[in-house]
Chains A and B, each alone.
Chain A
Amino acid sequence: MTGPRLSVVVLHPHLSQPQGDVGNALALAHRARLHGVAADVVVGGRPPASGSTIYLLGGLSTMDQAELAALLRTDDEFLDAVAGGAPVLAVGSGYEVVVNEFVDVDGHVHPGVGLLDATATRSSVLEGPVVTRPAVALGLPAMSGFESHTGRVHRGMSPCLAELELGAGNAADDQTDGTVSGHVVGTYLHGPVLVRNPELADLLLGWALGADLHEPADAGAEQLRAQRIEEDRADPTGWAGRRYGRTGLGLRRRGPG
């Protein structure tokens, strides 16, 4: 593969508690290949000096959040790249860290990285499936994911990523999830969100490569998303699949799987 080169950098995975979010890097590399672009995934390291970079932050909020924010706030290479238009996808803990100010899991207030005009506060646990409504302006369909967090994100001037059909998302002022500012997307959607929703991966890739990318979602991803949305609508606890979805082992058949 020749042409543009892309690096997908997973930032400080040792300071997050991954919730499948490493898969977002795989999804970006996979979609990039479909668009004819070679991508390198760098987990916990630095991008090469040349080429475009997409930065990923993910995981569950832990006591390491303050340290993560401090590292990012003083990381000139990262901040310069973002100022120059490099896309960032910040999920869960990462989302809370890139706002202006956040409350950590111990209740202490810390300055955030300030990439999104929002603040994050702390409250009770929210865990379950999420289904978004289509976000027409961003070209995104109804997306599927799951959330697991104790944060509440109060947006300032930055718009949301999507309104919600199901789930709590930002859980602060309205039925929305996420915040978008420039090429920075914050969201509470795990899944991994880019695996189940390749359109969001394409949006980030388009920003990174300066191109408008349109490829249909892979059949596998479409199937996965449709399955999860159907299950989650049937039972918003997220445990529905266990009740009606068992395939059995194949020794004693229980009907079609």
Chain B
Amino acid sequence: MEPRQSTLGAARAVPLRTRLAAAGARNGARLSRALGRGDGSTVGGVVARRIDPAALSHLAAHARTALVTGTNGKTTTTQLLAAALGTLGPVATNRLGSNMAEGLVTAFAERPTATLAALEVDESYLLLLADDLQPEVVVVLNLSSECTRGTMTSTVLEQWRAGLPHLDAACTVVANADDPLVAYALERRAGVVWVAGGGPWTQDSTQCPACHATMARTGHDWWCTGCDLSRPSAEWSLSQGAAVGTRGRVPLHLDLPGWWSRSNALFALAAADVLGVDLSAGAAALAGVADVGGRYRRFDLGSHTVRLVMVKNAASWTSACSVGGPEDTVVLAAEPFGVKDMAPLWDADLSDLRGRHVVAAGHRRADIALRLEMEGIAHSVISAPLDAVPAQAGGTVYVVANYTSFLDARQALA
């Protein structure tokens, strides 16, 4: 019998029960969206797994899969990787950041013809999901503290260190050589493709995770002063706006701001390379990504260009401070979000804002202003973030927003 929808063609080998589950996921997601209960990617997956508990491994069996994990950059890297893999064929991807089993089922259900998958997975579910999905590539971006999460950094770190060395030998791990915690987690894994991921965040690794001795640093190089743990040499790095790998160098023309986006692109290219993507074609595909679920959205306000950046933990607050150039303005905006809402800001390092045009905004502007004052960073204070825009001389206005402020912004711009 010919499948009713042509989209089921490639999925013919998928068991009937799984196909019904996938249809359930699509309908569940649609219903959830229609009811205004969110994007539906979680509900859809819940429905599918009720119908076929093994839906995920069945659906994934027909795709060459890459998993992306880490505290920061999962969603953006996944979207960049999906764009690069798109040069080879249809790609299943959890575009909305729904990164546990249910969201992954929905990602496959919504692209039944996909022969490739780029999926972000929650750090603490990585090993469990890798078991189900048998990925060809696992990208490990970074690991840092998130005080608003229930999961402890050290718990994830020990899970990774125990489990990552035992991933199937056919799976290639692409990992950040610049993050000592990632290197520690992968110390016993051979054949890792190391990437010079960069970044200013060192607070979670001022001391060695193995022996607690002080970590020494010069530039991005690092080594433990008490044991053998040191930075692995990286195959992939960024140099003068280009990604440099073992196969040569390819210029990056990204439409995403910040050093971290270039780093995310480097990981995406390294992972795409493992799956056989032509690097020039892959790099060209990355240039088409300008908005990741509302993050980095660009809009005009009067004569100014405004761009959103979402921050959620101390490491991302720290990174966001270097966004743009000296002529640009950085509006730090935060809305309430429970008792810990401003804790990440206090753990962050804001020193990159020194000498820049800085504005504190949102209902939590008193916290932001005091934080800036204590670091000796000149700034102005305003209630609503976009009220700061007209007064700026020129350049782009980056609104660096915490999660709730970002949601408000995305809703207002929808």
Contact = CB atoms under 8 A, between A and B. Distances in A.
A19 B409 contact: no
Given A220-B373, A247-B384, A43 B203 contact: yes
Interface residues of B, number: 52
A74 to B, nearest CB: 12
A241 B363 contact: yes
A205 B384 CA distance: 37
A250 B385 contact: yes
Contact of A253 (B203, B346, B384): B384
B409 A12 contact: no
Contacts of B154: 15, 17, 62-64
Contacts of A257: 363, 383-384
B339 A129 contact: yes
A148 B413 CA distance: 35
B344 A20 contact: yes
B283 to A, nearest CB: 34
A81 B95 CA distance: 53
Contacts of A238: 338-339
A97 to B, nearest CB: 15
B158 to A, nearest CB: 8
29 contacts: A14-B204, A18-B147, A20-B345, A22-B203, A22-B346, A23-B371, A26-B375, A44-B203, A45-B206, A63-B152, A63-B154, A129-B339, A190-B343, A192-B343, A192-B346, A218-B370, A218-B373, A220-B366, A220-B370, A220-B373, A242-B338, A245-B336, A246-B336, A249-B409, A250-B383, A250-B384, A250-B386, A251-B413, A253-B384
Interface of A: 12-15, 17-23, 26-27, 29-30, 43-46, 60, 62-64, 67, 71, 127-129, 146-148, 190, 192, 195, 218, 220-221, 223-224, 227, 231, 238-242, 245-253, 256-257
Given A27-B374, A63-B154, A227-B366, A250 B387 contact: yes
Nearest to A46: B214
Nearest to A146: B339
Q: Chain A's interface: helix, strand, loop or mixed, by majority? A: mixed
Contacts, number: 159
Given A71-B212, A238-B338, A247-B361, A195 B153 contact: no
A201 to B, nearest CB: 11
A246 B340 contact: no
Interface string B144-157: 01010000111100
Nearest to A24: B346
B344 to A, nearest CB: 7
A33 to B, nearest CB: 9
